[in-house]
Amino acid sequence: MFDDFQPNYVTPTPEQVLMLLRDWHRQSCLIECGEEPLEELSMDTTVRQWRAEADMVGWRELG
């Protein structure tokens, strides 16, 4: 597949990962709610805060 080109794999920085998560979060809020997120994700945002903001609630086990 890469006979004539070797991809240059680079480990993303935490800032780059945060940028991607912010963009994903913003787009999902626009699609699901039709508006911008109430709070912007930051390095200080906890997973609990993110799940609450993105309305990622738990689910019940089947059976």
Cα dihedral across residues 20, 36, 30, 47: positive or negative:
positive
pLDDT tens per residue, range 11-60: 999 999 999 989 988 898 888 778 887 788 899 998 888 877 777 777 77
Given a cut of 90, whether residue 6 has pLDDT beyond it is no
CA distance 15 to 24: 14
pLDDT at residue 32 in the model: 78
> What pLDDT is recorded for position 16?
95
pLDDT recorded at residue 1:
59
Q: What is the pLDDT of residues 19-31, one digit of tens each?
A: 998 998 889 888 8
pTM of the model: 0.65
Q: Which residues make Cβ contacts (< 8 Å) with residue 38, sequence separation at least 6?
A: 53
